[in-house]
Structure 1
Amino acid sequence: MTSTYLRVLPLALLLTGCVSLLPKAGDLPPRLALNAGEPATGELTPAINATLVVGDPDSASAYNTFLVAIARGPYEIQYIENAQWTDRVPVLVRRFIEQRFENRALFTAVGDRVDLPVSDFELQTDIRSFEIDETSDQPFARVTLGAKLIDRRKKVLGTKIFSERVPVRSAELGDRIDALNEAATATADDLIEWTERLTTTATSP
């Protein structure tokens, strides 16, 4: 009985110590998300009778993170202190693009490879930049995506690079994220219009 007690006591003390080290809610950094806007309402007939997979974007390790990137030189990436995205940037961007597509109700279904193991089209992207650029007197948000659209036979229908810059109003975190959200929205919408044109042509009789 005594030996059992001696083994359990250190464990109890250890657990007590761990609990005391947990951060308080107010000490956690803010978790940031992109806002894809409001979806289309009502019963809408998709403009394109096809399904679309949006793959997770490829990216350099500098963007494959929960952190908000800041470019402070041509070869230098830093991060905003005490701020994090709700997910890694590639996952965040993929979900954002999906939601922008869904808001337009263009396709019969839009999803990732888990949602749609077989699809009519697949949109592959890579993140060239997703950052606040502070290399000049006027900081701006920059979002650049490379895109490739392929059909179910793996034929490449087109490739293109999309990029947008939006001035940042101030160094406040909210203004920086607003600018990134606006740049992401404009980039995604250009990407969606390009995808619509290519898929409409591909599905025309």
Structure 2
Amino acid sequence: MRHLAIVSLCLLTASCAAVVGKKELATYDLSAPTSFAEISGQTNAQLLVSIPTALKSLDSEMIVVRPGGAEITYFGDGQWNDKLPVLLQDKIIRTLENSNRVRSVVKPGDGVVVDYKIATTIRAFELVNDKGSIARVSLSVKIINDRTGRVRASRLFTATAPASLANTKKAVASLDVALDSVLRQLLVWVLKTI
């Protein structure tokens, strides 16, 4: 019994040391547009927004940095508040809902009969440090008729914003600016297409 108590104490001490020595990462969220005065149109369609697909390098909580060429690294002191595809699904849904121009927007599993699915692939969501620093967001989006399975329309949305890689907070703000542009473009396109 005494031996078990000593082993338990050693394990507890080792666990505490590991936690104390671990550096806390700052956690960041992205925003969705809330003002749409410049956007016109409306649809009575019910839309389903699926979780975007992405390569493994983007399918995580880590913030991608491309120092140049094909190399991919991550900010060491910051992370997203969820996996990037889940975060972007949320921002697409919020943008469509915030606009008050779409009848209904749901996620898979909500049990709602929908007219169209919004299928997205994340092509780029990164900070690029090659001949100047920029934030780049690129989403390939398809509108799929839920009844027929046919693609109604597809489009690639890309935006960049000047970026500062001096710290993670400024870098994330640059990605947020580029994402805002992409989400607004996406909303206008959805309203014109459906």
TM-score by length of 2: 0.87
Quote how far apart the aligned CAs of 1:155 are. 1.8
Letter paired with 2:7: P
Question: Percent identical across equivalent pairs?
Answer: 25
8 A contact 1:36–1:99 mirrored in 2: yes
8 A contact 2:123–2:138 mirrored in 1: yes
Q: Choose the corresponding residue for 1:10, options 7, 12, 16.
A: 7
Quote how far apart the aligned CAs of 1:178 are. 0.9
Q: Give the alignment of 1:187-198 within 5 angstroms.
A: 187-198=182-193
8 A contact 1:144–1:162 mirrored in 2: yes
1:78-101 residue CA offsets vs partner (Å, 9 max, x unmatched): 111111111111111111111111
Which sections of structure 2, spanning at least 5 residues, go unmatched?
Answer: none
Q: Choose the corresponding residue for 1:172, options 167, 172, 175.
A: 167
Which sections of structure 1, spanning at least 5 residues, go unmatched?
Answer: 41-45, 200-205
Distance 1:190 1:169, change over 3 A: same
Whole-Å separation in 2 of the counterparts to 1:69 and 1:58: 16
Higher RCO, 1 vs 2 (CA within 8 Å, ≥6 residues apart)? 2
Larger Rg: 1
TM-score by length of 1: 0.82
Three-state SS of the structure 1 residue aligned to 2:113 is coil
8 A contact 2:45–2:102 mirrored in 1: yes
Alignment length (residue pairs)? 189
Whole-Å separation in 2 of the counterparts to 1:66 and 1:80: 11
Distance 1:24 1:50, change over 3 A: farther
Three-state SS of the structure 1 residue aligned to 2:123 is strand
8 A contact 2:33–2:184 mirrored in 1: no
Q: Choose the corresponding residue for 1:98, options 84, 93, 104.
A: 93
